[in-house]
Amino acid sequence: MEFSHEPVLLKECIEGLNIRPNGIYVDCTVGGAGHSAEILKRLGPKGLLIGIDQDREALEAAEEKLRKTESKAKFIIIHENFENIRQILDEKRINAVDGVLLDLGVSSYQIEAEKRGFRYMDDAPLDMRMNQDSEFTAKELVNTWPKDEIARIIREYGEEKWAARIAEFICKARENQLIETTSQLVDIIKAAIPASARRKEGQHPAKRTFQAIRIAVNRELEVLENALPGIVESLNRGGRLCVITFHSLEDRIVKQFFRNKSGLCKCPPDFPKCVCNPVKQLKIITRKPIVPSEEELKRNHRARSAKLRIAEKL
């Protein structure tokens, strides 16, 4: 299957990065290189693009696309998790960069590749790994984690009100046989959620649970929280950070991080004066997140939940 992933909010990201022709830019989730190719086109002979991804298939597609891009700039492709951005740059002897892009969405290729087990519409192995080198899979999670922990992630990461009941049904089902496929898990989830609630929701009953398990398998929220401080540390003065999120949990983390780094006082409102001594490291460029236009949504329905936040290093 061809690695395809239409870049979300492409124009807005390119403008937000405020690209300098001789700068160094990092695409932390290079995917099929949709955003990266446009960054590379805007770089001159002294410019450098670094593309990071934990999916080897994505990196192969990205390298092929970037080689075909008309640009005199150099690029480097790295198989790694962007959580380790500071270590990656240190190994390349790069002190600071001029811009970083984070597109936190799952690619169309990853979703549609049945062997990856991301979709609740397919009958596929329970996998959900973004990094195929990782040993921990969705199958291991649903078959070994304690009931309370499964309920917690479904409730917190999937914002699913039937989390406790779904976890109970999962644990009961695995007593009889291993849960090995997406269709098995979907059937369990459907059985756990009352039919009246399923009809009322108007969406697939497994959507939230699958999201939650995917987030847990790939440590998505933990990785984001760990990565943001290193990214800011790695930016030159005036460097930009653009982050595209696709659900409220990610967006909340980014919004709060930007707020904390923008020098706003965190003292309780009844304090007579500020005692937290906030340090201002970032200027928030987007007071409200940028969302896709109606035109983009017509082209790409998967962009509907995307939000772009941009900040600049001071």
Domain boundaries, the chain: 10-109+220-313, 115-218
Asked whether 210 and 157 are in contact (CB, 8 A), the reply is no
Query: CATH assignment of 10-109+220-313?
Result: 3.40.50.150
CATH architecture for segment(s) 115-218:
Orthogonal Bundle (1.10)
Q: How many other CB atoms sit within 10 Å of the CB of residue 164?
A: 17
Asked whether 182 and 225 are in contact (CB, 8 A), the reply is no
pLDDT, one tens digit per residue, over 198-238 is 877 778 999 999 999 999 999 999 999 999 999 999 999 99
**Closest of 259, 238, 224, 246 to residue 307, by C-alpha:** 246
pLDDT, one tens digit per residue, over 109-168 is 677 666 788 888 889 999 999 999 999 999 999 999 999 999 999 999 999 999 999 999
Annotated binding site: 33-35, 53, 82, 103, 110
Chain centroid, CA 135 distance in Å: 20
Q: State the chain's mean pLDDT as an integer.
A: 93
**Is residue 170's pLDDT more than 90?**
yes
SS3 287: coil
Alpha carbon distances (Å) from 304 to 18, 278, 295: 25, 35, 11
Distance CA 196, CA 194 (A): 5
- Which ranges of 243-282 would DSSP assign to H, the alpha helix? 248-261
Annotated binding site for S-adenosyl-L-methionine: 33-35, 53, 82, 103, 110
Distance CA 17, CA 15 (A): 6
pLDDT, one tens digit per residue, over 51-103 is 999 999 889 999 999 999 999 999 999 999 999 999 999 999 999 999 999 99
